[in-house]
A = this chain, B = another copy of it.
Amino acid sequence: MVSRAESAAATRRALLDAAGELLDSGGPDAVTLRAVGARAGVTRGAPYRHFPDKDSLLTTVAAEALDRLADQVRAVCAERASPADTLHRALAALMTIGRCRPHLYRLMFTAPTGDPVAVEAAVRAGERAMDEFLTVVGDLVGAPHVRRFAALLLAGAHGITDLEVNGHLSPDKWHVTTEELVSTLVSVIEVRTRNE
């Protein structure tokens, strides 16, 4: 029925899911190899059959999340809405992760650690997500300064999200919502590119 390879793959998946769920519910401190194992139905030593160490497990969680983000951006891009709309939705995908899964969001944008193989995978996934963003911005901005404005948009949206995630953007102090900030950011750059 279930081959050994299938069972092992299922366990690996369960471990990654368990780590993500623990991260969401209790923050990084709650992600214990023992807890991850328990939630995945195995014991504390089992994860070492699938990941070299804890860091590599978490880095793989981040890599998968970055991959999903890249897929989302690509999907938004495929909808072929107006370039401005597409950009807004792509940035919204990023910020939704920050709002719904703040600890995962932090993990995604933290320098990956652990086994070189896992690190490499995370780096590649991150670059893929950024490349997708690049094509989105490419439809909005002329070729000469795509990279500059794409980096600026990405950094801006990330900064807004990160500040909000960490509670540094209380609306009653700044009189702005994160949505308004992103809108302002995008429009400001649109104005700039039209003026060139």
Task: Please report A residues at the B interface, Cβ cutoff 8 Å.
Answer: 109-111, 126-127, 130, 147-152, 154-160, 162-163, 165-169, 173-176, 180-181, 184-185, 187-189, 191-192, 195
* A155 touches which of B110, B159, B167, B191 (Cβ 8 Å): B159
Complex contacts, A167 vs chain B, CB 8 Å:
111
Given contacts A147-B175, A157-B159, A192-B192, 15 further A-B contacts (CB under 8 A): A130-B168, A147-B174, A147-B176, A148-B184, A152-B160, A152-B181, A152-B185, A154-B159, A154-B163, A155-B159, A155-B181, A158-B162, A158-B163, A159-B160, A162-B162
Closest chain B residue to A149 by CB distance?
Answer: B184
B156 lies within 8 A of A111 (CB):
no
For the complex formed, measure the closest distance between the CB of A93 and the CB atoms of chain B, giving whole angstroms. 16
Complex contacts, A151 vs chain B, CB 8 Å:
160, 169, 174, 176, 181
Complexed CA–CA distance, A109 and B191 (Å) = 31
Complex contacts, A111 vs chain B, CB 8 Å:
165-167
B192 lies within 8 A of A148 (CB):
no
For the complex formed, measure the closest distance between the CB of A138 and the CB atoms of chain B, giving whole angstroms. 13
* A152 touches which of B158, B184, B191 (Cβ 8 Å): B184
B160 lies within 8 A of A155 (CB):
yes
Select the residue from A151, A163, A166 with max chain B CB neighbours within 10 A: A151
B180 lies within 8 A of A191 (CB):
no
Complex contacts, A152 vs chain B, CB 8 Å:
156, 160, 181, 184-185, 188
B192 lies within 8 A of A188 (CB):
yes
Complex contacts, A127 vs chain B, CB 8 Å:
173
